[in-house]
């Protein structure tokens, strides 16, 4: 039959619909439909209809001899009597009157390759790859579905599918079982959370010719969406059900006939059963597929037999009627008959006995009395009986739907055991299924209850599956049950984990960029948006490609270097053999050469497995997985700060708002963990906690907790009392903290007093006592530091002023400079020497890294600008023609040097946060000036044009357009000039020639009233609206920073202490002597620095092990306390109460079942009692033999109750 008529759904006008239409334009070129082209007369229609169901006039002549074929052909066959054409029904489906999201639909031929359809559904339609496929077979038509079957579908099947992430395959029509499944999916989607909403996918596979109102779906260009109307939704019909996510409408050319989709559905089920679960098919098992039989007709027997021959497991719902009852009776009540070997067959096939065949024939006649060809049914039934190991009988009416997921698991495991090899573990498939479904409760109760001894080989694949597919509960379960992570995590497996990163994520993009750099390809590196767009495009041959398989540890190291910066040494360089190479280019060449070889490092064990897995989980923003690996890894404080650092850097690169927020939340969580664990350490032992902060870590690239916390911007961590106590100890040095301020000031101006008893220093006993004391936050050292810095820069600036003043009094043609000016030059020279020392002669980084770190600091930029301006001014003063310009530059330079003094106040507890407030307010001022500039220019141009009709002088125009309106804000309003009613003493003219010569133009009188109105509006908007807006922005910034002022100050304090700790003790210009001393000690005498150990301490051997063990114990104590708090929370109590209530309900249900059984047993006993009474009476009346004693009498079972009565 040829389908004609106009499509009922057209494409939308939005960009999303246009994009969908463009993406699916390839479908008609690949997917075909079937149209009957040969008329085969139906004998029951008197020649009016074809056997396909279509009328005679709808069939076109395609080949010569159609009419001859009509005469000689007696049976219509789709493959012979229909032809393929491009499909004309595909796209999105919108049900009229339903506010649900659109469903997908596709009309396709019955012989379409299932691989193409499956790829279309998962890659283009966006359906999540299934962890289980349940194909509900039978229950079609308008037969009434039993109540308990509805409950099994609702409470059992859909609930189990929701917990496992399954696809449910039905006919998808509003009739029979398909309608019940649709309603159950709808109810669970309404009650479920948004996270689990997409876990259950209801897929309808129906014959195209059976669908009601199918002409509404026809549109050769595709429908986006197609409007689908259903007249009556309360009655069963062949209309599509709006509760399904997708529809596959199988076309065999017939109209109104059932069974046309059976063959394609079986092929699709078989294809899916050979696909891997998980991301990119990374799971450890194939996707489990099970067919569920509900009632069914006799024709369903062939469908069951064919799928059983492909080892497809079946779950038969006993008691649902029809074919399900027949199979349950056949497999349960039929005793196993002997199977004799046929002598005529050499292939070893078994032939059932004659007695078994007769029994099967009896049951066929019992359940299908209307069937004529019973021999074929008997043969099919015997074939099914031989494959009975793949069939599970489920008595839903008796067992209840609560444990239906366990029933599915047992059915699949039973079928997989028949296919498994002899050497395989009998519980291995059950474990893989539990991991695939993420059912850790089943694994704990059934598999890890102590009865099974698991081997490492059995857990290895499941561990990889759990890692890649983000199932942290299973990872924890495997580790707790004996999986050795040292044997598991090799460098090869670590690389495979990074290769499994999902396409389109930020980590995938960063790894791809590093891979392109290593491979040296000339192709441009794709941007993040291009990667996301390309991942959604579908082509006919390859709809979506997997991740690149060439990712190595070198790319991972490059990504970590991008995120960590210069805080750490490069990761995994030891494994790659690149630890001695400092140049990036040399490292790139060496890595490329290594990776082209045998790569022997991949077989080695990972040196720090838990830290490597922690990094892998953090880079993918997996919260629960990363937290578990942090718990297992050592150096918990530094690991938490490292995770915080990586996540905050990733959030800066992430473009999706939701992912960015989740990264920031997880980063804050790790910072809180670092703070809390360090609190536990500080309470336990103060001196060890100080060592913990400055210990150089071999796991994290030689960094320390303080350095990592600074890089991660961990203000909360730095606000801890223990961190501040260490900083105070380093800042005061050997001096006692209770030294009076006046003594410090006096010694500062007279350094000789240091050798007297005026300044008291700590002894060794005092130092130990102070280490045990609580931190002191009164900030005495801050006053000394403030005075130190103020004296340096103030004295430099005073000399600068004196030099400028003397230069101003000296004639400009003078060639002899004043002595004070040379002193100033030398002074600045010593400052430059100090800046060079700080940049290039501190730390172990390369000179590029040092320059990059130096430039990142704002105050270093200020120093750099001041020095450059001084050099420019100095050079300009050497020449007569630029002497004045040089003096102007030096004046500006004096401002920069003076503003540099603000940094000194950062050490003060009250003034430090104010500097941060000022910095944040500068951003507010920038946005305010944007609004003010637009409004000021609008008013200034209009005001100038209304006051002066002609004024060609640009200097006057700019002053009156910008400068004068700006002064209006501060109240400087020239009323005499603006208001013509006032007398203006300025001489003016209206002569254009004189105006062009520079004369003042006269004001325009006729439009002065508008000038006054604009002035009022301008002042109203600026002085009231915009100024108050700026005040409100300032107030918000101030309140936000002031609320955390203590945290901000403590964070700034660390930076300043580190900066001044590395500086020499003398101030410029006397600092030159310290530079000479350092040159002699470090370069000539090779004396190592002692100050380095104040912030970085390297521990080895037993000391490092003792510190790490102590930190681990403190972390365990902290986690134990957290678990106790969590268990005592209201939410956990409600969860435990809910579990107990569910257990009570389950026991009540079992009690009800026992009650039913007791009643049945009483009925049987009553029947037996009556029968025995009848036998006794019969024997007593007979005279055949005489009994030796009379028959027994019935005793009273409850004598007490009868007596009381």
Can you give 171-233 as a three-state secondary structure string? Answer: CCECCHHHHHHHHHHHHHHHHCCCCCCCCCEEEEEEEHHHCCCHHHHCCCCCEEEEEECCCCC
Read off the pLDDT of residues 619-631 as tens digits, 9 standing for 90 and up. 999 999 999 999 9
**Distance separating alpha carbons of residues 321 and 18, to the nearest angstrom:** 48
- pTM over cut 0.75: no
Could you tell me the strand order of the sheet in which 289-293 lies? 223-228, 90-95, 103-109, 246-251, 201-207, 166-170, 132-137, 289-293, 314-317, 391-394
Distance CA 848, CA 585 (A): 14
Distance of CA 213 to the CA centre of its chain: 42
Whether the Cβ atoms of residue 626 and residue 618 lie closer than 8 Å to each other: yes
- Give dist(CA 438, CA 955) in Å, integer: 76
Token pair in block for residue 484: 């050795």
> Which helix (H) or strand (E) element contains residue 1117?
helix 1102-1127
Specify the length of the chain in residues.
1205
Instruction: Decide: 227 and 216 in contact? Cβ < 8 Å.
Output: yes
In this predicted structure, what is the pLDDT of residue 556?
Answer: 92
**Residue 950 is encoded by which pair of tokens?**
């002609």
Q: How far apart are CA 104 and CA 97, in angstroms?
A: 17
pLDDT value for 644: 95
**In 1044-1101, which residue ranges form alpha helices assigned H by DSSP?**
1045-1061, 1071-1079, 1092-1095
Residue 40, number of CB atoms within 10 A of its CB: 20
Q: Give the integer Cα–Cα distance in Å for 48 and 39.
A: 10
CB 1085, CB 844: distance < 8 Å: no
What's residue 648's pLDDT?
A: 94
Q: Give the pLDDT confidence score for residue 771 in this predicted structure.
A: 41
What is the Cα–Cα distance from 402 to 148, expressed in whole angstroms?
Answer: 12
- Distance (Å) of CA 1089 to CA 764, 788, 907, 1096, 1130: 21, 23, 25, 12, 56
| CB-based contacts of 34, cutoff 8 Å, min separation 6 | 78, 82, 83, 84, 109, 110, 251, 252, 253
Place of tokens 């473009």: 655
What is d(CA 517, CA 654) in angstroms, rounded to the nearest whole number? 21
CB 249 within 8 A of CB 108: yes
With contact defined as beta carbons under 8 Å apart, do 275 and 286 qualify? yes
Distance, in Å, from the CA atom of 831 to the CA atom of 402, rounded to the nearest integer, reads: 79
- Tokens for 330, please give them: 């056949």
What is the token pair recorded at 732?
Answer: 């005061």
For the CA atoms of 437, 442, 443, 447, the dihedral, rounded to the nearest 10 degrees, stands at -130
Instruction: State the angle between helix axes of 883-899 and 780-809 in degrees (0 to 180), rounded to the nearest 10.
Output: 170
Q: Which of 281, 265, 406, 385 is nearest to 335 (CA)?
A: 385
- Tokens matching residue 927: 């946005």
Task: Give me the pLDDT at residue 280, please.
Answer: 57
b/e sequence 582-609, b meaning 16+ C-beta within 10 Å: eeeeebbebbeebbeeeeebbeeebebb
Residue 55 is classified by DSSP as: B
Whole-number pLDDT of residue 736: 77
**Spatial contact of 301 and 381, defined as CB atoms under 8 Å apart:** yes
Residue 523 φ then ψ, to 5°: -70, 145
Q: What's the half-sphere exposure (Cβ side, CA atoms, 13 Å) at 725?
A: 21
Run of H or E including 1178: helix 1130-1181
**Mean pLDDT, 10 residues at a time, over the chain (1205 residues)?**
42 46 73 83 74 75 43 69 84 77 86 89 86 86 78 80 82 86 79 54 88 85 81 68 88 81 88 78 74 86 86 86 85 59 43 72 83 82 85 77 74 70 63 82 80 81 88 90 88 91 89 86 47 38 44 90 86 84 81 82 89 94 93 92 94 91 94 94 91 90 90 90 88 78 79 77 52 36 36 37 40 54 85 82 67 78 89 88 89 88 76 80 86 89 85 83 86 78 76 81 80 88 89 87 78 80 76 81 71 73 90 91 82 78 75 77 86 81 69 56 42
3-state secondary structure (DSSP) of residue 570: coil
Spatial separation of the C-alpha atoms in residues 775 and 77, rounded to whole Å? 91
Residue among 605, 599, 526, 518 nearest 557 (CA): 518
User: Do residues 668 and 647 touch, judged by C-beta distance below 8 A?
Assistant: no
Q: Which two tokens stand for residue 364?
A: 């066929």
* Closest residue by Cα to residue 636 from 614, 651, 656: 614
Contact predicate 223/93, CB 8 Å: yes
Two structure tokens written together for 114? 């299932």
Residue 516's nearest CA partner among 560, 551, 561 is 551
Tell me the longest C-alpha to C-alpha distance in the chain: 162
95 by DSSP, 3-state: which? strand
Instruction: Tell me the pairing of strands 166-170 and 314-317.
Output: unpaired
- Determine contact, residues 287/272, Cβ cutoff 8 Å: yes
- Integer CA distances (angstroms), 648 to 217, 302, 642, 706, 871, in order: 49, 60, 10, 17, 39
Which pLDDT value is given to residue 352?
A: 56
């Amino acid at each position: 039959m040829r389908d004609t008529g106009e499509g009922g759904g057209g494409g939308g006008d939005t960009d999303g619909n246009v994009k969908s239409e463009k993406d699916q334009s390839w479908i008609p070129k690949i997917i075909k439909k079937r149209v009957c082209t040969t008329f085969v007369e139906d004998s029951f229609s008197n020649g009016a209809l074809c056997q396909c169901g279509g009328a005679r006039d709808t069939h076109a002549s395609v080949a010569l001899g159609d009419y001859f074929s009509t005469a000689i052909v007696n049976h219509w066959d789709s493959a012979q009597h229909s032809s393929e054409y491009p499909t004309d029904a595909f796209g999105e489906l919108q049900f009229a009157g339903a506010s649900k999201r659109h469903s997908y639909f596709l009309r396709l031929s019955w012989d379409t390759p299932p691989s193409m359809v499956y790829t279309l559904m998962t890659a283009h339609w966006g359906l999540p790859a299934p962890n289980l496929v349940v194909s509900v077979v039978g229950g079609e038509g308008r037969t009434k579905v039993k109540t308990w079957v509805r409950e099994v579908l609702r409470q059992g099947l859909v609930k189990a599918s929701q917990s496992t992430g399954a696809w449910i395959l039905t006919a998808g029509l509003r009739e029979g079982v398909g309608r019940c499944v649709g309603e159950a999916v709808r109810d669970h989607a309404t009650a479920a959370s948004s996270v689990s909403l997409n876990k259950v996918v209801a897929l309808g596979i129906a014959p195209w010719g059976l669908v009601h109102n199918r002409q509404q779906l026809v549109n050769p260009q595709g429908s986006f969406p197609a409007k689908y109307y259903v007249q009556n939704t309360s009655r069963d019909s062949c209309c599509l059900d709006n509760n399904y996510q997708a529809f596959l409408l199988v076309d065999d050319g017939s109209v109104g006939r059932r069974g046309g989709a059976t063959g394609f559905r079986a092929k699709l089920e078989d294809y899916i059963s050979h696909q891997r679960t998980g991301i990119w098919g990374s799971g450890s098992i194939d996707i489990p597929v099970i067919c569920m039989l509900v009632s069914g007709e006799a024709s369903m027997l062939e469908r069951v037999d064919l799928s059983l021959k492909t080892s497809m497991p079946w779950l038969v719902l006993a008691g649902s009627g029809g074919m399900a009852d027949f199979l349950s009776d056949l497999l349960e009540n039929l005793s196993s008959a002997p199977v004799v070997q046929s002598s005529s067959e050499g292939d070893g096939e078994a032939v059932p006995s004659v007695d078994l065949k007769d029994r099967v024939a009896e049951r066929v006649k019992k359940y299908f009395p209307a069937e004529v060809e019973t021999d074929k049914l008997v043969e099919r039934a015997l074939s099914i009986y031989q494959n009975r190991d793949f069939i599970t009988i489920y008595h839903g009416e008796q067992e209840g739907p609560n444990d239906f997921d366990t029933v599915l698991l047992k059915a699949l495991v039973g079928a997989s055991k028949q296919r498994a090899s002899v050497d395989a573990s009998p519980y291995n498939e059950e474990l893989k299924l539990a991991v695939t479904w993420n059912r850790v409760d089943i694994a704990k109760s059934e598999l890890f209850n102590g009865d099974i001894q698991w081997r490492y080989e059995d857990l290895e694949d499941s561990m990889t599956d759990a890692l890649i597919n983000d199932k942290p509960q299973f990872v924890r379960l495997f580790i707790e049950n004996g999986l050795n992570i040292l044997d598991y995590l090799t460098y090869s497996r670590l690389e495979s984990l990074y290769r499994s990163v999902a396409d389109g994520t930020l980590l995938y993009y960063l790894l791809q960029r590093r891979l392109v750099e290593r491979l040296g390809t000339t192709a441009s590196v794709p941007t993040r948006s291009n990667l996301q767009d390309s991942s959604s495009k579908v082509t006919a041959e390859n709809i979506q490609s997997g991740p690149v398989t060439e990712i190595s540890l070198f790319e991972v190291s490059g990504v970590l270097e991008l995120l960590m910066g210069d805080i750490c040494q490069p990761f995994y360089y030891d494994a790659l053999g690149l630890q001695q190479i400092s140049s990036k280019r040399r490292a790139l060449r060496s890595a490329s050469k290594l990776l082209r070889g045998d790569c022997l490092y991949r077989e080695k064990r990972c040196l720090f497995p838990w830290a490597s897995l922690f990094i892998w989980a953090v880079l993918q923003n997996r919260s629960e997985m990363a937290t578990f690996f942090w718990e297992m890894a050592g150096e918990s404080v530094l690991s938490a700060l490292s995770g915080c650092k990586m996540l905050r850097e990733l959030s800066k690169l992430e473009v999706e708002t939701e992912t960015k927020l989740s990264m920031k939340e997880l980063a804050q969580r790790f910072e809180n963990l670092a703070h809390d664990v360090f609190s536990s350490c500080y309470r336990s032992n103060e001196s060890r906690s100080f060592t913990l902060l400055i210990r150089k870590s071999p796991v994290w690239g030689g960094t320390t907790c303080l350095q990592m916390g600074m890089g991660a911007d961990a203000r909360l961590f730095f606000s801890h009392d223990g961190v501040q106590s260490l900083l105070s100890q380093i800042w005061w040095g050997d001096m006692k903290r209770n030294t009076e301020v006046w003594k410090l000031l006096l010694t500062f101006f007279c350094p000789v007093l240091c050798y007297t008893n005026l300044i008291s220093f700590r002894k060794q006993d005092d130092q130990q006592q102070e280490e045990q004391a609580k931190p002191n936050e009164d900030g005495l050292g801050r006053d000394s530091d403030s005075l130190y810095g103020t004296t340096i820069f103030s004295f430099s600036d005073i000399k600068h002023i004196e030099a400028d003043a003397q230069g101003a009094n000296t004639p400009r043609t003078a060639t002899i400079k004043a002595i004070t000016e040379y002193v100033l030059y030398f002074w600045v020279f010593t400052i430059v020497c100090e800046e060079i020392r700080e940049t290039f002669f501190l730390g172990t980084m390369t000179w590029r890294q040092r320059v990059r770190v130096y430039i990142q600091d704002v105050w270093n930029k200020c120093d750099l600008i001041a020095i450059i301006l001084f050099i420019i001014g100095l050079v300009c003063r050497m020449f007569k023609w630029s002497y004045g310009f040089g003096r102007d530059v030096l004046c500006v330079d004096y401002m920069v040097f003076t503003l540099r003094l603000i940094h000194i106040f950062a050490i003060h507890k009250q003034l430090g946060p104010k500097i941060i407030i000022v910095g944040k307010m500068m951003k507010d001022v920038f946005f305010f000036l944007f609004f003010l500039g637009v409004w000021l220019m609008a008013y200034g141009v209009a005001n100038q044009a209304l006051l002066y009709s002609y004024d060609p002088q640009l200097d006057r125009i700019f002053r009156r357009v910008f400068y004068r309106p700006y002064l209006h804000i501060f109240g400087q309003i020239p009323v005499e000039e603006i208001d013509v009613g006032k007398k203006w003493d300025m001489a003016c003219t209206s002569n254009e020639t004189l105006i062009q010569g520079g004369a003042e133009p006269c004001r325009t009188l006729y439009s002065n009233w508008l000038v006054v109105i604009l002035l009022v509006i301008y002042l109203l908007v600026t002085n009231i609206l915009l100024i108050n807006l700026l005040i409100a922005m300032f107030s918000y910034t101030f309140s936000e920073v002031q609320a955390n002022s203590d945290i901000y100050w403590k964070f700034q304090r660390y930076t300043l202490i580190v900066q001044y700790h590395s500086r020499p003790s003398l101030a410029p210009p006397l600092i030159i002597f310290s530079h000479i001393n350092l040159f002699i000690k470090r370069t000539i005498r090779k004396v190592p620095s002692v100050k380095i150990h104040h912030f970085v301490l390297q521990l080895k051997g037993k000391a490092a092990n003792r510190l790490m063990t102590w930190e681990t114990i403190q972390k365990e104590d902290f986690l134990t306390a957290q678990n106790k708090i969590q268990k005592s929370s209201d939410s956990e109590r409600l969860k435990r109460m809910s579990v107990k209530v569910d257990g009570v309900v389950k026991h009540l249900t079992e009690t009800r079942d026992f009650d039913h059984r007791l009643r049945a047993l009483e009925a049987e006993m009553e029947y037996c009692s009556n029968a025995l009474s009848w036998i006794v009476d019969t024997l007593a009346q007979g005279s055949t033999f005489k009994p030796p004693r009379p028959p027994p009498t019935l005793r009273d079972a409850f004598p007490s109750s009868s007596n009381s009565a």
